[in-house]
Amino acid sequence: MTQHQSSIDAAQKVLDDFMTAFNARDIPAFENTFNFPSVRFASNTMVILNKGDMQPERFTSGALAEWDHSAWERRAVIHAGADKVHIDTRFTRYRKDGSVIGGFDSMYVITNENGHWGVKCRSSFAP
């Protein structure tokens, strides 16, 4: 995979930026980590995300009602090419007091579209 190290580096930066923006609740920065439309598979449901779909209440309701922040526990590259990287991940969600809500395995597909690296698809076991 070393022949695609620049793709791997770009994809890992997307995941860094994704988590930083999500934890900061910075919707414009968070949306910048995607290539829209983007697909999310979770809770046995597929959702097609488009720019503008993320709303502030998303950070305080449903599965994120007790959530304060998240952190990556694992980010292992499965496959890498010139314009796409598959990454096996695990992330943990935390409450404000630092207690764990849960840890979730997931897979991210990061693509390069028109020179922009972003999340194109993700599938997780998170609610």
Q: Assign residue 78 the CATH number of its domain.
A: 3.10.450.50
Rounded mean pLDDT for each run of 10 residues along the chain, 127 residues in total: 91 98 96 98 94 83 87 98 98 97 97 98 94
Backbone angles phi and psi of 14, in degrees to 5: -60, -45
Range of the domain at 8: 2-124
Q: Is 66 helix (H, G, I), strand (E, B) or coil?
A: coil
Looking at residue 82, its amino acid is A
* Predicted pLDDT at 1: 58
Q: What is the C-alpha separation between 4 and 84, in angstroms, rounded?
A: 10
Within 25-121, where are the H helices?
A: 27-31
pLDDT for 103 equals 97
**Tally of structural domains, the chain:** 1
